[in-house]
C-alpha cells in the first residue's frame, strides 16, 4: 500500500510539471469621445489604461452597421503603431459620410491578447458644399506686432473668405487705410471678386476683420499693426463669404510687442593721430529685431548720420570697435555709434575729439621734440624724456660714476640723470634715467589728478601722479580694484602700453594680440639701481616715475616686463634712475617759500630780537630758516651774520647778536627749500646810543658873479652828536672836501644855513658840497655845480639893447639910434634886439676907446636874413681916411678887415650860420701875434672856426685910429654911399683884451646858448664830457675816450692790425684803440671800441656797458627816438623833413662840400641840436 502511494505521488508531480504555464497580462483600453465633427471627418480620443506586456498595434475602428466593431470587423480603422506605455491618444477619422451615425471603439492588440474598449457613436455633420482648414497660425505661433506674417489655409471652395482677428474670444473692430477694393458693413469687410491688396489697422484697443481673399487655398501676407496689445489669447477665424457654415478658427497664438530701433552707446575716441582714431559702441538691445548692420559715423558738424562717413562693424548686439580713418589734422570731429534693424537706425550718444595737429610734437628746453598720443582724455608723450635742463634753463646734474650715483640720497634734493650704461647711443631711443628729485625738480609729492607738478617736464606739461597712471590703466581696461592693487595688476594693459616689439625680449608681452594699440610705445629702457649705481633690466623692463611718494625715501612707479601682459605698481627708492613720461597740461614747479619778517624788538646796543613766519613752503620742504642781517639793505645768507632756527613752515623767533651800537641794521627772514633761498620783507632798526655822522643837503648856488656865489645847506639830523662845524667847501674838481682851503665856516648845530663863496675865477665851473662835522666824522651833502660869470675885466662897453642903445658897462659909451626898430632878442625877450632893416644904424661917434687897441674882443648875437654883404660893426669911412679903417661883417661869410696906414689885413671863415637863425659870434684881435692867421680869430656858438687870410704877409699890430664914427649896422664906402645891414643885433660886448675860450663858453652858456640844456659827466679816467638834452634824452656831446669800465676794470688796448682782425664777432672780445693808433686823435675824436667792449658783454638794450655810472649805451630804439625827435621838430635842413644830418654834425672838422644841405657845406650852420658829431672814422 505504501508503494502504491509513493507511485501515485510521483505521477501527480509529473502531471503538474507537464500542465503549468506562465500567465499573460491583459491589455486594457478605453474609448474616449468624438470631437471636431464635420461632414467627412471626426476626431476620437482614447486611452491605454494597461499596455499589458506590450502593444503591437492600436487605434480606433468604426462601422456604420456593426454596433460592436473590432479591428477585424469594421468599415475602417486607424493604426497608430506599437506602444509600451499607458496614456491618452486620438485618431482622425476621415472619408466619412455626411449625416451618418458611426459606431466606434478603441482597440489594442498585443502578443496573443487583443481587446476593444466601450463602443460609442457619433453622427457626422450634414453634407456641405465646401470646407476650410487653417494651417497658420497654430498654438505654436509667436508673432510680433509690426512684423509681416503669412496667414495660410486650405479649402475646397471657390469663393471669397473673411479673415477675422479675435482676442479673448471677442472680435475686434477695424479701420482700413485704403478702401479702393473694399467696402465695410458692420464688422465684416467684404470685397469684389478679385484678390485684395489691403490690410487693416488697429484702432484704439480693439481689432477687427483683417481682409478677404479669393484663392481656394490661400496665403495672406499680413502686416501686424505696431500697436497691438501683447497677449497669448489671439485667434484667427476664416469664414466663407457666401456660406457662413464653411468656417474654421485657429488655436490660440501669441502676439509680442512691436520691435523698436536698437539701443546703443558710443565709445570715447582714443589712439588719436593726425588722420585716424579709434571709437566703437555697445548695442545693448536690438529693439526686438535683428541688428543687420552697426558701426560709427562721423562728421565735422554735430549729429553725423550713417549715410555719411561711417564704418560697418558686423551685426547683432554687444560691443564693437571701429577704426576711423581719412581724417584731417587739427580738426574737431563728432562721432556717433549707429545700429540698424528692420524698424530703422538709431544712434548712440555723440562724442567729439580733435585730431592731432599736423606733426604735433612738444619740445623741451634743449630743443628735443617728442611725439604725443591721446589716450582717453589724457595726452601723453609717446617717447621717454631726455632733457638735460629744467624748463627755466637750470642744468640737471649728470652723474656717470657708479659710486657717485650710489651716494645720492633718497630725498627730494639730489637731482641727477644719466643714460643707460652711460652710453649716449641709448639717449635718442630710450631717453634719460632720472632720480625722483630730478623728475620732480624738488617739488613736494602730489596725489592729485592732474598732479600740478611740472617737474622736469616742458612748459605746459607735467609729471603724472599715481592717480593719473591709474586713469590711463583703467581706460585701457583695468577695474578700479585692479588699479588700486600693488604688484602685477590687470590683464593685457601692459601689452597695450608697450611698443616696438623688436626691442623687447621675446615673451607674452609682445605676443599679445593688443600689443601696442594704445600708441604709448613704452620701450624696455631698464633702470639704474640705488645704493650701487648699477644698470639693469635693459630689453626687459621700462620704469616710469609718478609724483606720488610712498614715504620720505620712496615713491610710486610703474614698470612693464617682457613676459607679463599686465602692469606692475610698486614703490622704489627715490635715488633709483627711472624713465619719465609727461602729460599735457600746465603743472607748477616748486617755487620759493613765502614768508614775512618780524619787526625787531628788545633792541640794545649789541642785540635785538626778530624772526619770521613761513606761510607757504613753495611746494618743497623748507630745510633751513632764520634771519640774516647787515648794515646794507637786502642782506643774504651769504653773510656770516645769520641765525638757523629749524625747518618747516610756521612762525619762529630769532636772536640777533654781535651788533654795534648806534648802527642801523637791515634784517630779512629767510627760508630755504630745494629751489633756493627766499627772503621776507626787509625791516630795519638802529641799535642804541652810538652817534653817527650828520645828515644834510647842499643848497644850489645862486647870486653867481665872476668871483662870488651864494650856497649853503640844511642839516636835518646831527647823527646823535652835536654839529661843531658846518659850511660849504668847493673846488674845480668833483667831490670837494674840507681838506681844501676853499671852504666856509657857518656856525654849529642843525638846520639851514647860508654860505658866501668868494675868491672865484670868472668863467670857471665849480663843484660845491655842504659839510657838517660832529664827534664821529664830517659828513657831506649832495654835490652842486655852477659856472661863474664871464669876466668884465677889460670890458669897454656892453649893449643889451633894453629898449635903447645905452652902454651898461658903466663907461657910458651910449649910441644914437637911427631908423632902427626893436624886436625879440636871441633869448626870447621882447624889445631886446635891434633890427637895422637895411636903412638904420647906431652911431657912437668917434669912439676913441676902440682906437689903436693892440688887443680887442667883440662878442655879439646876430641873425642875418640873407647872404648879402652886411657890415655889422665898423669904424669905416673911406671918404675920411681911406688908409685907417676897421669893420666886421658878412660877405656872405664872416670876416674882419683892418687897414692901418694903408696896410690891409682881411680874414674870415669859409661859412656863416644859417639864414634867419641866431648865432653867437666872437671875433678876437691880437696884434701881438706874428702869424697873420692868428691875429683875428672867430668863434661861432662857442666853437672856434678855421679862418682864411687874404694876404699872410700883411701883419696889423693895432686897430686903426681914425675920425670915422664907430657904428653898428653900417659903414660908409669910398663913393660916399652907406652900406646898411638887414640883420638883427643883440647883446654886444667889447673888450680891450683877448677873452679866453672858457670865457667865450661861459658867455655862450650865460646868454642862453642855442636853446638847449647842457651839463657835464666824468668817466672813470676823470675825462669830463659836456652833455646836451635833446627832447627827453641826455646825450654826451663828445665821443667817449675812457680806457676803463666804471668799476675800474681796464679795457684791452689792441693796436696791431692782425690782432684786431682776429677778434671775434661776439660779445666777449673786448678791445679799444685810437684812430690810426694815434693818441693825437684821442681828445678830439675819442676811442674806437668793439661791440663787446662797448656793451661790456651785455646786449639787452639797457646796458651800462662802457659808459660812466648813471649813463648807458643807447639801444637802436633810443637812436630812433633821437632821429624821430629831430625830424618832427624842425631840425631838418631848411627847417623841415628828415634831412637831419647837419643838425647832428659839429660846425667844423668835416671835409668841404659844394652841395647845399650836406654836412660839409656851410659847416657853421651845423649842430643845431648840440649833438656835435665829428668824423672820427672807424
DSSP code of 1117? H
Mean pLDDT of 230-246: 75
What's residue 577's pLDDT?
Answer: 96
Q: Are 974 and 883 in contact (CB under 8 A)?
A: no
Mean pLDDT of 982-995: 93
pTM above 0.75, yes or no: no
Mean pLDDT of 315-326: 94
Q: Which one is predicted more confidently, 1161 or 744?
A: 744
CATH number of 132-256: 2.60.40.1930
Q: Are 956 and 931 in contact (CB under 8 A)?
A: no
CATH number of 594-686: 2.60.40.10
Tens of pLDDT, residue by residue over 772-801, are: 999 889 999 999 988 887 777 889 999 999
- Is a pLDDT exceeding 80 seen at residue 601? yes
Q: Which of 321, 457, 446 is nearest to 396 (CA)?
A: 457
Q: Which one is predicted more confidently, 145 or 92?
A: 92
Band of residue 175 on the pLDDT scale cut at 50, 70, 90 = very low
For CA atoms 933, 936, 941, 943, the dihedral sign is positive
- Is a pLDDT exceeding 90 seen at residue 381? yes
What's residue 275's pLDDT?
Answer: 85
- Is a pLDDT exceeding 90 seen at residue 303? yes
Of the listed ranges 8-12, 178-182, 717-721, 1082-1086, the least confidently predicted one is 178-182
DSSP H helical ranges for 341-479: 402-406, 427-430, 436-440, 466-475
Mean pLDDT of 834-855: 92
Q: How far is CA 408 from CA 443, 1106, 1158, in A?
A: 17, 45, 72
Backbone angles phi, psi at 215, to 5 degrees: -80, 150
Q: CATH classification of 695-787 is 2.60.40.10, yes or no?
A: yes
Q: How far is CA 1009 from CA 636, 786, 826, 941, 1166, in A?
A: 50, 15, 9, 7, 15
Q: Which one is predicted more confidently, 193 or 603?
A: 603
Tens of pLDDT, residue by residue over 504-522, are: 999 999 999 899 989 999 9
∠1140-1142-1147 over CA atoms, to 5°?
155
Query: CB pairs under 8 A, 24+ apart, for 885-893?
Result: 885/960, 885/962, 885/964, 886/959, 886/960, 887/971, 888/858, 888/923, 889/971, 889/981, 890/864, 890/983, 892/867, 892/868
Q: Which one is predicted more confidently, 696 or 829?
A: 696
What's residue 863's pLDDT?
Answer: 84
Measured in residues, the chain has a length of 1178
What's residue 230's pLDDT?
Answer: 79
Band of residue 912 on the pLDDT scale cut at 50, 70, 90 = low
Q: Which one is predicted more confidently, 146 or 916?
A: 146
Distance CA 826, CA 863 (A): 9
Architecture of domain 795-1006: Sandwich (2.60)
Question: Is residue 9 classed as helix, strand or coil in its secondary structure?
Answer: helix
Same CATH topology for 695-787 and 795-1006? no
Q: Which of 351, 298, 352 is nearest to 323 (CA)?
A: 298
Band of residue 630 on the pLDDT scale cut at 50, 70, 90 = very high
- Is a pLDDT exceeding 60 seen at residue 602? yes
What's residue 427's pLDDT?
Answer: 95
- Is a pLDDT exceeding 60 seen at residue 938? yes
**961 CB-near residues (< 8 Å, 6+ apart):** 851, 852, 884
Of the listed ranges 55-69, 289-303, 430-444, 926-940, the least confidently predicted one is 926-940
- Is a pLDDT exceeding 50 seen at residue 195? no
Of the listed ranges 80-84, 240-244, 787-791, the least confidently predicted one is 240-244
What's residue 804's pLDDT?
Answer: 95
What's residue 357's pLDDT?
Answer: 67
- Is a pLDDT exceeding 80 seen at residue 1175? yes
Residue 916, number of CB atoms within 10 A of its CB: 12
DSSP code of 702? B
Mean pLDDT of 1016-1032: 83
Q: In the structure grid, which three cell numbers stand for residue 118, read together?
A: 466601450
Report the percent of the chain where pLDDT is more than 90.
55
Q: Which one is predicted more confidently, 826 or 868?
A: 826
Distance CA 951, CA 897 (A): 12
Tens of pLDDT, residue by residue over 684-699, are: 999 988 788 999 999 9
What's residue 355's pLDDT?
Answer: 84
- Rg (the chain; Cα; Å): 62
Tens of pLDDT, residue by residue over 719-737, are: 888 999 999 999 999 999 9
Distance CA 128, CA 93 (A): 17
What's residue 752's pLDDT?
Answer: 96
Report the percent of the chain where pLDDT is more than 70.
88
Mean pLDDT in the chain?
85
- Is a pLDDT exceeding 90 seen at residue 479? yes
Q: Which helix (H) or strand (E) holds 238?
A: strand 231-240
Per-residue three-class SS string for 939-956: EECCEEECEEECCCCCCC
What's residue 33's pLDDT?
Answer: 94
- Is a pLDDT exceeding 80 seen at residue 59? yes
Mean pLDDT of 298-310: 96
Burial of 209 (0-12, 13-18, 19+ CB in 10 A): buried
Q: Are 593 and 622 in contact (CB under 8 A)?
A: yes
What fold, for 263-354?
A: Immunoglobulin-like (2.60.40)
DSSP string, 566-621: SEEEEEEETTSBBB---EES--BPP---EEEEPPPBS--SS-EEEEEEEEE-TTS-
- The neighbouring-strand residues paired with 674 are none
Q: CATH classification of 28-123 is 3.40.1190.20, yes or no?
A: no
Can you give the residue ranges of every domain in the chain?
28-123, 132-256, 263-354, 361-584, 594-686, 695-787, 795-1006, 1014-1165
What's residue 52's pLDDT?
Answer: 87
What's residue 171's pLDDT?
Answer: 63
Mean pLDDT of 210-225: 62
Lookup result for grid cell 595726452: 379
Q: In the structure grid, which three cell numbers stand for residue 390, read together?
A: 629744467
Q: Which one is predicted more confidently, 130 or 800?
A: 800
Residue 1080, number of CB atoms within 10 A of its CB: 10
Of the listed ranges 46-60, 164-178, 950-964, the least confidently predicted one is 164-178
What's residue 665's pLDDT?
Answer: 96
Choose the most confident range, by mean pLDDT, from 802-816, 1006-1020, 1132-1146: 802-816
Amino acid at each position: 500500500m505504501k508503494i502504491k502511494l509513493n507511485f501515485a505521488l510521483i505521477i501527480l508531480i509529473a502531471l503538474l510539471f507537464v500542465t503549468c504555464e506562465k500567465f499573460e497580462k491583459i491589455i486594457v483600453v478605453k474609448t474616449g469621445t468624438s470631437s471636431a465633427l464635420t461632414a467627412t471627418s471626426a476626431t476620437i480620443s482614447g486611452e491605454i489604461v494597461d499596455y499589458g506586456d506590450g502593444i503591437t498595434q492600436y487605434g480606433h475602428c468604426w462601422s456604420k452597421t456593426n454596433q460592436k466593431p473590432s479591428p477585424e470587423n469594421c468599415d475602417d480603422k486607424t493604426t497608430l503603431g506599437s506602444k509600451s506605455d499607458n496614456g491618452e491618444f486620438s485618431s482622425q477619422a476621415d472619408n466619412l459620410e455626411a449625416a451618418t451615425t458611426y459606431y466606434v471603439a478603441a482597440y489594442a492588440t498585443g502578443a496573443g491578447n487583443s481587446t476593444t474598449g466601450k463602443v460609442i457613436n457619433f453622427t457626422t455633420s450634414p453634407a456641405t458644399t465646401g470646407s476650410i482648414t487653417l494651417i497658420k497660425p497654430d498654438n505654436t505661433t509667436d508673432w510680433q506686432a509690426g512684423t509681416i506674417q503669412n496667414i495660410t489655409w486650405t479649402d475646397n471652395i471657390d469663393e471669397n473668405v473673411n479673415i477675422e482677428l479675435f482676442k479673448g474670444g471677442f472680435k475686434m473692430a477695424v479701420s482700413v487705410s485704403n478702401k479702393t477694393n473694399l467696402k465695410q458693413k458692420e464688422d465684416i469687410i467684404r470685397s469684389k471678386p478679385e484678390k485684395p491688396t489691403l490690410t487693416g489697422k488697429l484702432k484704439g484697443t480693439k481689432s477687427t476683420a483683417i481682409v478677404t481673399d479669393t484663392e481656394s487655398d490661400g496665403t495672406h501676407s499680413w502686416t501686424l499693426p505696431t500697436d497691438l496689445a501683447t497677449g497669448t489669447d489671439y485667434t484667427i477665424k476664416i469664414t466663407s463669404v457666401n456660406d457662413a457654415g464653411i468656417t474654421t478658427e485657429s488655436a490660440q497664438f501669441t502676439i509680442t510687442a512691436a520691435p523698436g530701433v536698437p539701443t546703443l552707446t558710443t565709445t570715447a575716441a582714443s589712439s588719436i593721430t593726425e588722420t585716424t582714431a579709434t571709437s566703437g559702441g555697445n548695442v545693448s538691445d536690438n529693439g526686438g529685431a535683428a541688428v543687420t548692420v552697426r558701426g560709427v559715423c562721423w562728421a565735422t558738424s554735430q549729429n553725423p548720420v550713417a549715410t555719411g562717413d561711417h564704418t560697418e562693424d558686423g551685426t547683432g548686439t554687444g560691443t564693437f570697435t571701429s577704426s576711423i580713418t581719412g581724417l584731417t589734422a587739427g580738426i574737431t570731429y563728432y562721432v556717433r555709434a549707429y545700429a540698424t534693424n528692420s524698424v530703422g537706425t538709431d544712434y548712440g550718444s555723440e562724442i567729439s575729439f580733435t585730431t592731432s595737429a599736423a606733426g604735433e610734437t612738444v619740445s623741451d628746453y634743449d630743443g628735443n621734440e617728442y611725439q604725443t598720443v591721446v589716450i582717453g582724455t589724457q595726452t601723453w608723450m609717446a617717447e621717454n624724456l631726455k632733457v638735460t635742463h629744467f624748463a627755466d634753463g637750470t642744468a640737471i646734474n649728470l652723474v656717470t660714476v657708479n659710486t657717485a650715483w650710489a651716494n645720492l640720497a633718497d630725498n627730494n634734493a639730489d637731482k641727477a640723470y644719466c643714460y643707460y650704461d652711460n652710453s649716449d647711443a641709448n639717449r635718442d631711443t630710450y631717453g634719460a634715467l632720472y632720480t625722483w628729485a630730478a623728475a620732480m625738480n624738488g617739488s613736494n609729492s602730489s596725489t592729485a589728478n592732474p598732479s600740478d607738478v611740472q617737474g622736469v617736464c616742458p612748459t605746459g606739461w607735467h609729471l603724472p601722479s599715481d592717480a593719473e597712471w591709474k586713469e590711463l590703466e583703467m581706460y585701457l581696461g583695468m577695474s578700479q580694484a585692479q588699479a588700486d592693487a600693488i604688484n602685477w595688476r590687470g590683464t593685457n594693459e601692459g601689452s597695450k602700453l608697450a611698443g616696438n616689439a623688436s626691442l623687447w625680449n621675446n615673451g607674452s608681452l609682445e605676443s599679445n594680440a593688443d600689443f601696442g594699440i594704445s600708441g604709448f610705445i613704452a620701450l624696455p629702457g631698464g633702470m639704474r639701481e640705488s645704493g650701487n649705481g648699477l644698470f639693469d633690466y635693459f630689453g626687459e623692463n621700462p620704469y616710469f616715475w609718478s609724483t606720488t611718494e610712498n614715504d620720505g625715501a620712496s615713491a610710486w612707479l610703474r614698470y612693464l616686463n617682457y613676459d607679463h601682459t599686465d602692469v606692475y605698481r610698486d614703490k622704489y627708492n627715490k635715488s633709483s634712475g627711472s624713465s619719465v613720461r609727461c602729460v599735457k597740461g600746465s603743472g607748477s614747479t616748486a617755487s620759493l617759500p613765502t614768508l614775512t619778517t618780524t619787526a625787531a624788538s628788545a633792541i640794545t646796543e649789541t642785540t635785538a630780537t626778530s624772526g619770521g613766519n613761513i606761510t607757504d613752503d613753495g611746494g618743497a620742504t623748507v630745510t633751513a630758516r632764520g634771519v640774516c642781517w647787515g648794515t646794507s639793505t637786502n642782506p643774504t645768507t651769504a653773510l656770516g651774520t645769520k641765525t638757523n632756527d629749524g625747518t618747516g613752515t610756521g612762525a619762529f623767533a630769532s636772536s640777533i647778536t654781535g651788533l654795534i651800537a648806534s648802527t642801523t641794521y637791515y634784517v630779512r627772514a629767510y627760508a630755504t627749500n630745494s629751489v633756493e633761498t627766499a627772503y621776507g620783507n626787509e625791516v630795519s632798526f638802529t641799535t642804541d646810543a652810538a652817534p653817527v655822522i650828520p645828515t644834510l643837503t647842499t643848497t644850489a648856488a645862486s647870486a653867481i658873479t665872476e668871483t662870488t656865489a651864494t650856497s649853503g645847506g640844511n642839516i636835518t639830523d646831527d647823527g646823535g652828536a652835536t654839529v661843531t662845524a658846518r659850511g660849504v667847501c668847493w673846488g674845480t674838481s668833483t667831490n670837494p672836501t674840507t681838506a681844501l682851503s676853499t671852504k666856509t665856516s657857518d656856525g654849529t648845530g642843525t638846520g639851514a644855513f647860508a654860505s658866501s663863496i668868494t675868491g672865484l675865477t670868472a668863467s670857471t665851473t665849480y663843484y660845491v658840497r655842504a659839510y657838517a662835522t660832529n664827534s664821529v666824522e664830517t659828513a657831506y651833502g649832495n654835490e652842486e655845480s655852477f659856472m661863474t660869470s664871464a669876466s668884465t675885466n677889460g670890458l669897454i662897453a656892453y649893449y643889451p639893447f633894453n629898449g635903447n642903445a645905452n652902454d651898461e658897462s658903466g663907461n657910458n659909451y651910449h649910441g644914437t639910434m637911427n631908423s632902427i626898430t626893436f624886436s625879440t632878442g636871441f633869448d626870447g625877450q621882447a624889445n631886446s634886439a635891434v633890427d637895422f632893416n637895411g636903412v638904420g644904424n647906431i652911431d657912437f661917434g668917434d669912439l676913441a676907446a676902440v682906437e689903436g687897441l693892440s688887443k680887442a674882443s667883440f662878442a655879439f648875437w646876430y641873425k642875418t636874413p640873407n647872404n648879402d654883404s652886411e657890415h655889422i660893426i665898423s669904424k669905416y669911412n673911406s671918404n675920411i681916411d681911406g688908409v685907417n679903417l676897421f669893420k666886421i661883417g658878412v660877405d656872405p661869410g664872416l670876416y674882419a678887415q683892418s687897414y692901418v696906414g694903408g696896410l690891409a689885413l682881411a680874414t674870415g671863415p669859409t661859412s656863416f650860420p644859417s639864414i634867419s637863425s641866431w648865432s653867437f659870434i666872437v671875433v678876437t684881435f691880437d696884434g701881438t701875434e706874428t702869424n697873420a692867421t692868428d691875429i683875428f680869430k672867430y668863434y661861432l656858438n662857442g666853437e672856434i672856426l678855421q679862418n682864411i687870410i687874404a694876404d699872410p704877409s700883411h701883419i696889423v699890430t693895432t686897430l686903426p685910429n681914425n675920425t670915422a664914427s664907430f657904428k653898428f649896422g653900417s659903414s660908409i664906402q669910398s663913393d660916399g654911399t652907406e652900406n646898411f645891414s638887414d640883420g638883427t643885433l643883440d647883446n654886444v660886448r667889447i673888450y680891450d683884451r683877448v677873452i679866453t675860450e672858457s670865457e667865450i663858453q661861459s658867455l655862450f652858456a650865460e646868454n642862453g646858448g642855442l636853446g638847449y640844456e647842457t651839463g657835464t659827466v666824468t668817466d672813470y679816467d676823470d675825462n669830463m664830457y659836456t652833455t646836451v638834452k635833446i627832447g627827453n634824452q641826455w646825450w654826451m656831446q663828445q665821443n667817449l675816450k675812457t680806457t676803463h669800465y666804471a668799476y675800474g676794470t681796464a679795457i684791452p688796448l689792441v693796436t696791431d692790425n692782425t690782432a684786431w682782425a682776429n677778434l671775434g664777432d661776439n660779445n666777449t672780445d673786448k678791445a679799444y684803440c685810437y684812430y690810426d693808433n694815434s693818441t693825437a686823435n684821442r681828445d678830439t675824436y675819442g676811442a674806437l671800441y668793439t661791440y663787446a667792449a662797448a656793451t661790456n658783454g651785455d646786449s639787452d638794450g639797457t646796458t651800462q656797458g662802457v659808459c660812466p655810472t648813471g649813463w648807458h649805451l643807447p639801444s637802436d630804439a633810443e637812436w630812433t627816438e633821437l632821429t624821430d625827435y629831430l625830424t618832427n621838430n624842425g631840425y631838418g635842413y631848411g627847417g623841415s623833413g628828415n634831412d637831419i644830418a647837419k643838425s647832428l654834425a659839429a660846425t667844423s672838422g668835416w671835409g668841404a662840400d659844394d652841395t647845399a644841405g650836406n654836412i660839409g657845406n656851410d659847416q657853421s650852420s651845423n649842430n643845431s641840436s648840440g649833438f656835435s658829431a665829428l668824423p672820427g672814422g672807424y
